[in-house]
Amino acid sequence: MATTSKNLSDYTKNNLPACENFNIGIVVAEWNDDITNNLLKGVVDTLVENGIDRENITIKSVPGTFELALGCQFLLEHDEELDGVIAIGCVIQGETKHFDFVCQAATQGIAAVNLEYNTPVIFCVLTDNNKQQSIDRSGGKHGNKGVESAVACLKMIGLQNELL
């Protein structure tokens, strides 16, 4: 397991670009909201901690993880000033193949939005076998995947700006 010995919240601020003027969109799934709200807190706290004004963060909700890609697309179409978007969701394995279909659709959809809009759209979706794994990765013993996703977003925006 990739996170067994890694805290998802560990990062070095020195490796991040100056991001005070970045505008970030966040699309968060309402399904498993106890988990996604913890991920959202990790994202927002990390962005603000790194100098992004709370007014430069736009947060929108969608019903579930399946809807994240379209929510990100709507947000990018509505706000052309966004430098990056973070898609937050949580899918927990159940007794049927629904888990596989939702995870595959979310992954492919978010990847497609990245390429279509040439904008960093970060995959902050937990795909765990059980609720405890999600708790552990949304502020529990493995840190918060939201922090890692916010850092990834800032680094990708920095890379894009560096290459322009």
- What's the whole-number mean pLDDT along residues 4-25? 83
Residue 78 is among the residues annotated as catalytic for this protein: no
For residues 137 and 12, what is the distance between their CA atoms, to the nearest angstrom?
19
Which residue of the set 7, 98, 129, 141 is catalytic? 98
How is residue 113 written in tokens?
């939005």
How is residue 144 written in tokens?
């918060």
pLDDT attached to residue 7: 72
* pLDDT-derived band at 5, boundaries 50, 70, 90: low
* pLDDT-derived band at 1, boundaries 50, 70, 90: very low
pLDDT attached to residue 47: 98
DSSP 153: H
End-to-end CA distance of the chain: give it in Å, rounded.
Answer: 37
Q: Which amino acid is at 111?
A: A
Q: What are phi and psi of 144, to 5 degrees?
A: -135, 115
Alpha helices (runs of H) in 50-118, residue ranges in sequence order: 68-78, 98-117
Per-residue pLDDT tens over the stretch 116-134: 999 999 999 999 999 999 9
Alpha helices (runs of H) in 5-144, residue ranges in sequence order: 33-49, 68-78, 98-117, 131-136
- Given a cut of 90, whether residue 52 has pLDDT beyond it is yes
- Given a cut of 60, whether residue 2 has pLDDT beyond it is no
Domains by residue range for the chain, with CATH? 21-144 (3.40.50.960)
Which pTM value belongs to this model? 0.94
68, 125 Cβ separation under 8 angstroms? yes
- What's the whole-number mean pLDDT along residues 22-49? 98
pLDDT attached to residue 53: 96
Per-residue pLDDT tens over the stretch 57-89: 999 999 999 999 999 999 999 999 999 999 999
When comparing pLDDT for 41 and 96, which is higher?
41
Q: Which amino acid is at 83?
A: D
For the chain, helix, strand, coil in percent to 5 are 50, 20, 30
For residues 78 and 80, what is the distance between their CA atoms, to the nearest angstrom?
6
